[in-house]
Homo-oligomer: A and B are copies of this chain.
Amino acid sequence: MGESFSELAALYRNTLLQDIIPFWERHSVDWENGGYFTCLDAEGEVYDTDKFTWLQARQVWTFAMLYNRWEKRDGWLRIAKHGADFVAECGTDADGNWYFALDRFGRPLVQPYNIFSDCFAAMAFSQYAVASGDERAVEIARRSYDNVLRRRTNPKGQWNKVYPGTRPLKTLAVPMILANLTLEMEWLLGREHLDEVLDETVGEVMTDFLDQDRLLMFENVTPAGEHVDCFEGRLLNPGHGIEAMWFMMDVARRRGDRALIERAVDVVLSTLDFAWDEAYGGICYFMDADGRPPLQLEWDQKLWWVHLEAMVALAMGHALTGRKECIEWYEKVHAYAWPRFSDPDHGEWYGYLNRRGEVLLPLKGGKWKGCFHVPRAMSMCARLFEGMAASEEENRA
């Protein structure tokens, strides 16, 4: 590849500040009705006006994060407030549960069946509370966090279609996101609570969901952490597993847990070995651990967030351990992802490529892709490579 760490830092910083964020500032804010449009085509034109809570909350988080971590720009705080006000006004039912989708005017379209709406709302309002000092934001963040804790054993509630008892399974997403969310909200939660939740979620991820022999993260296991030979039980979502591992590194770094950092790096590397598409390059979206046909027809597609999370995990792994395999894999993923996903002509990244790496859907945002994975990864990679460049400098001096 040849770029130095400081060149990589500059690439991520410049892309974040001069390409990605201006794209969303320019195209996504619905100044008329509140909130954000996220269904944006290749040029940034709005092609659908529905508002999905996940993406509304994630965009609030992103603009508040920029304000908190990059620069105190009023324009960023104003955009964060614009989305926060909209969802605070229309986003929940009378009991404070977050609807899954709203129409452009904020009227509810889809019931609060999804616990991750509450997760992302908690993340958003916590970050926004730091940026704004708004007391109501603190309250909403706390209440949404409590929703997550309350719902975690039965995330879909009345909308759960699984017949109770026959084949109990738990899903990786819950402890994984809870670990990340709890760190995000560290400033709001007591130290004791933080330690308790992190002990529990890290244990669950690294013991129950991690296959100790194959070093692969499974999406679904029994409550006791055993594999089940069924579609859900054999399912791997490599991008998800890799993202979970940088959440683990992030926890481990704060706690000074070297063993956990090394273990998480091992899992990232073995996941990439398993999920890299030798025929066409890129990381597969879904796989069956035993090589049987997966249910997901989109299994062989190459998704933006999978590759961005992998680059974050590899940069973080290298920053924390200095392991050579991390930077070798980083270079391989970088060389695949940047030329195929990024669109310097119109801004932002494409989201969905087919197996061959050709654009499958010519969109920059949709129901699931918003202003989140790209800017978060750009921001983190910029900081990580800045750090690595500084250490290199120091060592040289």
Contacts and interface: CB of A to CB of B under 8 A. Distances in A.
A297 B295 contact: no
Given A161-B100, A230-B50, A108 B166 contact: yes
A113 interface: yes
Given A48-B231, A231-B50, A293 B363 contact: yes
A163 B301 contact: no
A328 interface: no
B166 A366 contact: no
A367 B41 contact: no
A302 to B, nearest CB: 11
A361 interface: yes
Contacts of A352: 297
Contact of A161 (B50, B107, B159): B159
A103 B300 contact: no
Contacts of A298: 297-298
Contacts of A231: 48, 50, 367
Given A41-B292, A297-B297, A48 B230 contact: yes
A109 interface: yes
A162 interface: yes
Give the interface centre of A161, A166, A360 by most chain B CB atoms within 10 Å: A161
Contacts of A162: 109-111
A197 B107 CA distance: 35
A24 B159 CA distance: 35
A111 B161 contact: yes
Contacts of A166: 103, 107-109
Contact of A108 (B48, B163, B293): B163
A110 B163 contact: yes
B361 A293 contact: yes
In the complex, which range does the number of interface residues on chain A fall in?
Answer: 35 or more
Contacts of A342: none
Contacts of A100: 161
Give the interface centre of A166, A297, A354, A362 by most chain B CB atoms within 10 Å: A297
Contacts of A50: 230-231
Given A166-B109, A354-B354, A293 B47 contact: yes
Contacts of A159: 159, 161
A51 to B, nearest CB: 11
Contacts of A363: 293
Contacts of A107: 166
B295 A367 contact: yes
Interface string A340-366: 000000000000101100001111001
Interface in A23-55: 41, 47-48, 50
Interface string A252-295: 00000000000000000000000000000000000000001111
B110 A293 contact: no
B360 A167 contact: no
12 contacts: A41-B292, A48-B229, A50-B231, A110-B162, A110-B163, A111-B162, A293-B362, A295-B366, A297-B298, A297-B352, A298-B298, A300-B354
Given A110-B162, A297-B352, 5 more contacts: A107-B166, A110-B161, A159-B161, A231-B367, A300-B354
